[in-house]
């Protein structure tokens, strides 16, 4: 799994003119699922996301976590995170998991984030044409990949 985590002061997802998920302070997480990913990858990544200390403390240092700032998560599925761009100008998405594999892992990630935060994770709609709006705070943007744990 690959995630792009953005610290935001607000973020929302709109599908067909309707807001499907929105948050104030917290993380916008773009999540890509690879064909070799497992529930163990979702477990590791969800714990890393929830434990990430990138919110400012009283001294302006990134020492606070999501719970410390009463933050929320907006989780968006994004298969394009596995784009391969070595050849030509049209990216290949061959490494991205097909929906029959990706949807259950996306749903597992939602469940894990809900459990770890004790809150409902805001979401987009898997496979939909989504419009994402955000105010990146910092800006702070971090990439994580479950294949690079060590």
SS3 of the chain: helix, strand, coil, percent, to 5? 30, 40, 30
For the chain, the C-alpha Rg in angstroms (whole number) is 15
CA distance 108 to 128: 19
CA distance 97 to 41: 14
Q: Which of 9, 36, 38, 80 is catalytic?
A: 80
Structural tokens at position 96: 């991205």
Residue 143 designated active-site: no
Structural tokens at position 86: 């070595």
Which of the residues are catalytic? 80
């Amino acid at each position: 799994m690959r995630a792009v985590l953005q610290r935001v002061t607000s973020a929302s997802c709109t599908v067909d003119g309707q807001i499907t998920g929105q948050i104030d302070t917290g993380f916008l997480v773009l999540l890509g699922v690879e064909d070799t990913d497992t529930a163990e990858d979702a477990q590791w990544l969800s714990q890393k996301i929830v434990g990430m200390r990138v919110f400012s403390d009283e001294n302006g240092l990134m020492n606070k976590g999501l719970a410390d700032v009463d933050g929320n998560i907006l989780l968006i599925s994004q298969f394009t995170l596995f784009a391969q761009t070595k050849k030509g100008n049209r990216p290949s998405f061959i490494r991205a998991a097909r929906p029959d594999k990706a949807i259950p892992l996306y749903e597992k990630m939602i469940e894990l984030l809900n459990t770890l935060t004790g809150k409902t994770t805001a979401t987009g709609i898997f496979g939909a044409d989504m419009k994402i709006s955000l105010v990146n705070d910092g800006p702070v943007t971090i990439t994580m990949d479950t294949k690079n744990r060590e």
